[in-house]
Chains A and B, each alone.
Chain A
Amino acid sequence: GIQVEQSPPDLILQEGANSTLRCNFSDSVNNLQWFHQNPWGQLINLFYIPSGTKQNGRLSATTVATERYSLLYISSSQTTDSGVYFCAVSRGAGGSYIPTFGRGTSLIVHP
């Protein structure tokens, strides 16, 4: 199956700093999403981004499908950004949507 690698595995920031999270995938995909899991376990959708660039407030994401990677940018980080960020991809072979998750990047933002 498709392999998804996220880096870095852990990240510690001071409030106000910027960061870039990376998601590499081993094969072509037609669906890619970024999620944030907060410290209470709730997963929240950030971006649906199989290709191109999107921005939402302090967060933005870019996927270069031909080179099989996606980047999540967090600017001016806040303590509420703490948690785990997951990338999930799907190849959609045969029309089916079966997501594969990376191991995540654990982010801690200190005040």
Chain B
Amino acid sequence: GAVVSQHPSWVICKSGTSVKIECRSLDFQATTMFWYRQFPKQSLMLMATSNEGSKATYEQGVEKDKFLINHASLTLSTLTVTSAHPEDSSFYICSAVWGQGFKETQYFGPGTRLLVL
């Protein structure tokens, strides 16, 4: 159990286009999902917390107009990178949270590698 899918796994796009990444919890409902960005040989950087039915909470320094997050249902969150530029190229990872009351556990999607040319 506790499977999280992420689509697409690879994206190559031209500068100026928008890219949408989907994150789905396949066998459980997740009130909260997280979006991370990871650079090569570095740790995960939390970008935003996505809560079903409410606006996402962005970490300091993350442009909310650049990275649009929508948590449409208890099993789906999307991240849209708007007007992508080469500096947005990175590995984007989502996670879905199972449990509550300090017993939360994150389950991760396989990630999306974005290359902006």
Contacts and interface: CB of A to CB of B under 8 A. Distances in A.
Nearest to A92: B102
B35 interface: no
Contact of B111 (A31, A42, A99, A104): A42
B102 A86 contact: no
B43 A97 contact: no
Interface of A: 30-31, 33, 35, 40-45, 48, 50, 86, 88, 90, 92, 97-99, 101-104, 106
A98 B110 CA distance: 20
A42 B105 contact: no
B interface residue count range (under 10 / 10 to 19 / 20 to 34 / 35 or more): 20 to 34
Interface string B12-43: 00000000000000000000101000100111
12 contacts: A35-B108, A41-B113, A42-B108, A43-B93, A44-B108, A45-B105, A45-B106, A48-B103, A92-B102, A98-B46, A99-B46, A101-B46
A97 B104 contact: yes
Given A97-B97, A101-B43, A104-B43, A30 B102 contact: yes
Nearest to B104: A97
B106 A50 contact: no
A103 B42 contact: yes
A34 B46 CA distance: 17
B2 to A, nearest CB: 8
Q: Which 8 A-B pairs have the closest CB atoms?
A: A43-B108, A97-B104, A30-B102, A41-B111, A103-B43, A101-B44, A101-B43, A92-B102
B91 interface: yes
A16 B72 CA distance: 47
Contact of A98 (B2, B43, B49): B49
Contact of A45 (B41, B42, B46, B107): B107
Given A41-B91, A43-B93, A86-B44, A99 B34 contact: yes
A28 B24 CA distance: 32
Nearest to B100: A97
A33 B105 contact: yes
A86 B46 contact: no
